Structure 1
């Protein structure tokens, strides 16, 4: 709007000084795909119910506008089929770079939805999950481990590239992180990396990769623009860096859960701040969580799970810890047993519990604090009632360990609850 207003004011000023202005040229009519004839032999993207768009070669094209009749065939070989009349208007000319699987889609001369999707699909088939659109990095979750994608060689290549060579490197989350790190040091301005996408797109893993790279970059990695100082073992800087990395297992355990679409879905939002000194060394960090799905603790859909931490403690706690907590298997717990997914392929709850306990130690939680935390977890996941109680009594209280006075208090509370909701 500001741009239009500026042009309008300039035109008014011109009219006041020239009583007979020359007439403005008529705008040229923009030809839509349905208004233009496609050359025979050219490649176009045709709508497809399964793949959204598919590249096809034009076999024949007659008519204009709504009367266009288009026949397309495979890119190589003979044969062809008529494009349905309802889809002709959505046929677009294919950009040659999209057919090749270019790494930066800003260079397309005809950037369309079809070209973008086909380019991502082409690169994905080569295990190239990262693509660029200028300063924006697009990633597609491979749902598998890709060898060589996060190696020290990739890290070194991003660190050693000069300012001109960095944009020409293959798109990578490390390159994006390097660009932000250099911008912070070179411009002395705060930088932000925003990661968004649908459930299962890989946001959590991308964020972990960014944090891992930046932590390594600010220490002994060396390279361009800082980070050449090695951390002294046992120093404050080393402690902060270790806490930043080890925070991920804790946050995922308490905030992630299995859903119908994603086995490790983050049920909260997270904003992580990493603070550096003038030399590029990490001094402190802060992680803020918001919009946590707290209702999942007590209720979730069949086929889903509550937060990972409850299954982890059931699978990974030692026998001594389970006996002290009177902790039964996960299937016997009220809020865990309602799910048909006590175990998830690709997730080792016992190993993840050990990783969480190691992270607790990194954060210097004492044994007493960790014991208290285990008690809270066990108390939040009560067992199924062992005998009939009032239908509104949902707590699954341990009747054999409560005094008569406590049981009376609980029953009174249940009756009051019933009267309140009557």
Structure 2
């Protein structure tokens, strides 16, 4: 087992990793930018090293400084959390070269799964259902038009190095293709330094369902069931829940088996998710693989009584997984609390938190790094807390979540709490009738506060 782990991240996920390390008897090192000098992950780690100025490229994305911090503190492993360098193949490879264990996927695995066209081809070869589309990257716009006409519209162009909805364009007829092609290439080139595109049939009325998997160094994998991540705004998740109100036992079993087949086909080691789109007829298709821990991992932990961070560390240290699959014993939901104004187009709202009261009670968990007096910097992602609620039924979870949100007080900034309360009062949401397009028709005028 590791003696000391450096956490190459910030905020709530850094604090989350520190907690598990302490319970495992492992020393921790926090790294931080000057904007985060007063953050709780800096306070609660055993050691802390400042690695640069607030811009991410000068701190949390600065590989040489992070490696130097690991070397001077004698850390024998690095946990990247999510975001930042968690799916950076170069960082994983450099850790290997410096004999520092990267608690995540290997550089080769990140490369293979990070390129979405390659990932799709790999999963298709493994027998995992994939969305019909181009075989790899499109060589030209003309090739894309030909495939789309043969397959039928609507189709979607996707950046092979994409994420967060960037480099994606829906094309509903041939006359729209050229503009969509030009826009997607320009956006993906600017965002990722790679303007390669591939094409897929556009799945109407989809659900976004992901399967949590864990693989070990022996090549074995298991799954921890599904999470429904369909409540999204511009491809950014806002609410996640498990089990999904849309998934049947038979479909859960089929998707779990497909996820394991895909993970074992590539010899995946560590925690990850196989992401699927599920259409209105409950046909499911591979979308992508995330080779890291997910923001929404706590809801899986709450319904399976399983510490995913601990399992990541154990697998990285060479220990085998149990081999069994885990299914929900409870229901759980997570609301992402962002420093944003939901009544004003979710405009970011950084600033000082004047007063803070966290909800509590049975079945309530808050993962956060903020406190009264904390100043939210404008340099990073706007998520400041995750409210996780569990219960015996989905109905109980919704009632408990609404009560917890009403009890959650954050003064001094705007947050997404009023949006979440309005969402939980929506009859269609309460009935489980929603897709990834749900918020496109949501009445934001009902938000109070």
Normalised-by-shorter TM-score class:
under 0.3
Tell which structure's C-alpha radius of gyration is larger: 1
| Greater fraction of residues in strand | 2
| Greater fraction of residues in helix | 1
Structure of higher RCO (CA pairs closer than 8 Å, 6+ residues apart): 2
Output the TM-score relative to the length of structure 1: 0.25
